Amino acid sequence: MILAAYQDTPYNVILLLHILTMFVAFSPAFVHPFLENDTRGDGSFREKLFTGIAARGMKIYGSALIIGGLLGFGLAGMSGDGTAEDELIYRVSDGWILTAVIIWVAMNGVLHGMILKGEKAIAAGDESATKTVMIGGQLITVMFLVTMWLMVFKPGA
């Protein structure tokens, strides 16, 4: 049973939610490097700032990244033309989607293993974690850009 056909209103609502959650998930990758740079050397304010960032990292950004990816799976499953379930326009097994899924898993690893962990360490006063957070931010930004390229150009589709 197809709940929505490709580009019907329910499909477009899920697409909008997918895009919005990914914007939320990646907003820190663009904002936090400026905050990190602007607060360097300002001990108590920096610790307070990173305590807030670390406390919200998983609740907001980690959750948004996971939900956004799951909504992407929903989009693939909703990409039928409304005539038959086995005639999907996009399948998770398509090369560009499978590559995006692999990158999404890697992004979750970088976010949870490097960035969030490093932000907690900075909040606790461990300035050596700054390099880990910066490298993680750079990695996740590159993976985000590659995924955006895949979503826009759909190579092989």
What is the structure's pLDDT at 75? Answer: 87
What is the structure's pLDDT at 82? Answer: 60
Query: Which of 82 and 15 is assigned the larger pLDDT?
Result: 15
Tokens 């560009």 belong to residue: 96
Separation of alpha carbons 67 and 44, rounded Å: 34
For residue 72, give both structure tokens: 């992407």
Structural contact between residues 75 and 137, judged by C-beta atoms closer than 8 angstroms: no
Q: What is the domain partition of the chain in residue ranges?
A: 9-153
- Which pTM does this prediction carry? 0.86
Q: Which residues contact 24 (CB under 8 A, 6 or more apart)?
A: 60, 61, 64, 68
What is the structure's pLDDT at 109? Answer: 97
Q: What's the rounded mean pLDDT across residues 65-88?
A: 81
Q: What's the rounded mean pLDDT across residues 97-120?
A: 95
* pLDDT tens per residue across span 6-31: 778 888 999 999 999 999 999 888 88
- Torsion-angle region of residue 5: left (phi > 0), alpha (psi -120 to 50) or beta? beta
pLDDT tops 80 at residue 116: yes
For residue 39, give both structure tokens: 């607060």
Q: Quick count: other Cβ atoms within 10 Å of Cβ 1?
A: 3
pLDDT band at 155 (very low <50, low <70, confident <90, very high): very high
